[in-house]
Amino acid sequence: AQSVAQPEDQVNVAEGNPLTVKCTYSVSGNPYLFWYVQYPNRGLQFLLKYITGDNLVKGSYGFEAEFNKSQTSFHLKKPSALVSDSALYFCAVRDGENRDDKIIFGKGTRLHILP
Amino acid sequence: GAGVSQSPRYKVAKRGQDVALRCDPISGHVSLFWYQQALGQGPEFLTYFQNEAQLDKSGLPSDRFFAERPEGSVSTLKIQRTQQEDSAVYLCASSPFPGQLLYGYTFGSGTRLTVV
């Protein structure tokens, strides 16, 4: 089965600095990878996805993610962090290459942006 | 409505009680999903509907869990004889496309179930 790992429970970054939230994956076949964000008392929000194509994927709110096949990583990045980026971030992978295969989420990484 | 609506927002149930959690997807959305999110964990897949057809229920943890979407719109997740380990946030999501998450879901805010 496919899986994702988020090795950091929490990441602290000063406002204005670049941020990286790490994710590694394990898949057989082509990976379908996603990032979601969860703000307090709000639903999960889709940020971006990688299916095929350019290794650098751009998403919502200025976030981007870099797909690295050799390192089996899909790290989330942003050049300049905002305090409002503080939230819980989830990496996810589709469990197979069929359209109806379910999505598997990582445990999440809490991002704190310090003013 | 503009988003996915879930009710109730919070539910406290005594152990052994049956509960029903409701999800109103975005109008016209074909796909509907239920996820369970335990404290400090990522969401875990429960079940998936395409219109009224339940195409995948492999994530339902036991036969106490039952989900339906009889008219291809509103969905209800029912948990019978609740146990403490059922305490979690139950998330519903919908998508305008068939299949799981190719274009990203829209999630509701969830129902927080506490079994005492």
pLDDT tens per residue across all 116 residues of chain B = 579 999 999 999 999 999 999 999 999 999 999 999 999 899 999 999 999 999 999 999 999 999 999 999 999 999 999 999 999 999 999 988 887 655 667 889 999 999 99
Residue contact B109–A104, C-beta within 8 A: no
Residue contact B109–A41, C-beta within 8 A: yes
Interchain CB contacts (distance < 8 Å): A and B:
68
pLDDT confidence of residue B102: 54
Q: How many whole angstroms separate alpha carbon A63 and alpha carbon A47?
A: 7
The secondary structure of residue A102, as a DSSP letter, is P
pLDDT grade, residue A2 (50/70/90)?
A: confident
Q: How many whole angstroms separate alpha carbon B105 and alpha carbon B96?
A: 8
Q: Which one of B41, B93, B98 has the shortest CB-CB distance to A99?
A: B98
- Chain A contact for B99, CB < 8 A? yes
The nearest CA of chain A is from the CA of B99 a distance in Å of: 4
